A = this chain, B = another copy of it.
Amino acid sequence: MPRLVVRSFAVSLDGFSAAPGQSLEEPFGHNGLRLMDWAFPTKYFTQMFGKSGGEEGTDNDFATRADDNIGATIMGRHMFGPDRGPWDLGWKGWWGDTPPYHHPVFVLCHEKREPFELLGGTSISFVTEGIESALDQAFAAAKGKDVRIGGGPATVKQYLKAGLVDELHLVQVPLLLGQGESLFEGLAGIEDRYECVGFTPSKRATHLKIVRKT
């Protein structure tokens, strides 16, 4: 059965997955890009940015495996872009002409917008009918593969609260953000439905595997 998964999702040691103050220059909020310090040195991310080299090892293994068997991605509007309200139709996402998805992407939002295609097999569709509709559309588009929730934290939490996520790979980084979007606040009851079954430290972070209890 295809699954709904979260992968390579970074969270600060105090539980935040985004800092306040998202802007064009700072997709993770003010000083929030440090959440990705575990990832950028890896071979996977280095090569994604068109350079050679990069580190191998635990972090790179997780970063690479995050793409395994993913046929579609769901994300919230704040992960797609920094604007709010009516669409800036010139904005096509943070990722340039050839995004690293290479499959259909579904953006949860409140304002309708026509879908479009980018290079490398990525298409972007906008879903205003809620998380279950997005999930149905994503599973149909994934053609038997898994669906990944890209983020941000609000989107992950919506699916978690609904019990729809099968597995999460979180990357807990040793960083205090102090404020921002908490991944865990307001999830009372999650402890009855999910459990941490894997715990792999690297030199920069702790990789956690959380699954729905069977």
**A residues 178-214 touching B (CB-CB < 8 Å):** 178-179, 182-185, 187-192, 194-196, 198-199, 201, 204, 206, 208, 210
Would you give the shortest CB distance from A199 to chain B, in whole angstroms? 4
Residues of B within 8 A of A31 (CB): 191
CB of B190 within 8 A of CB of A178, answer yes
A175 touching B201 by the CB < 8 A rule? no
Interface bracket on A: 20 to 34
A174 at the interface (CB under 8 A from B): yes
Contact of A179 among B176, B188, B199 (CB under 8 A): B188
- The verdict on A175 contacting B188 (CB below 8 Å), with A206-B201, A206-B206 known, is no
Contact B15 A196 (CB under 8 A): no
Q: How far is the CA of A87 from the CA of B122 in the complex (A)?
A: 66
* Interface residue A36 (Cβ < 8 Å from any Cβ of B): no
Additional 9 contacts, C-beta under 8 A, given A15-B184, A201-B206:
A13-B208, A14-B183, A14-B187, A31-B191, A174-B199, A176-B190, A178-B189, A199-B204, A206-B206
